[in-house]
Chain A
Amino acid sequence: KNEVEQSPQNLTAQEGEFITINCSYSVGISALHWLQQHPGGGIVSLFMLSSGKKKHGRLIATINIQEKHSSLHITASHPRDSAVYICAVRPYYNTDKLIFGTGTRLQVFP
Chain B
Amino acid sequence: ETGVTQSPTHLIKTRGQQVTLRCSSQSGHNTVSWYQQALGQGPQFIFQYYREEENGRGNFPPRFSGLQFPNYSSELNVNALELDDSALYLCASSWPGTGDNEQFFGPGTRLTVL
A contact set with B: CB distance below 8 Å: 4, 30-31, 33, 35, 40-45, 48, 86, 88, 90, 94-103
Contacts and interface: CB of A to CB of B under 8 A. Distances in A.
Contacts, number: 68
A67 to B, nearest CB: 21
B41 interface: yes
Interface stretch (B13-21, B76-84, B94-102): B94-102
B73 interface: no
A101 B27 CA distance: 28
Contact of B45 (A33, A40, A97): A97
A43 B90 contact: yes
Contacts of B103: 33, 45, 98
16 contacts: A4-B42, A31-B101, A33-B102, A35-B105, A45-B102, A95-B101, A96-B55, A96-B56, A96-B96, A97-B45, A97-B48, A98-B33, A98-B92, A102-B41, A102-B42, A103-B42
A100 B43 contact: yes
Provide the main secondary structure of the chain B interface. Answer: strand
B105 A42 contact: yes
Contacts of B92: 43, 98
A43 B33 CA distance: 14
A45 B105 contact: yes
Contacts of B58: 97
Contact of A96 (B35, B41, B101, B110): B101
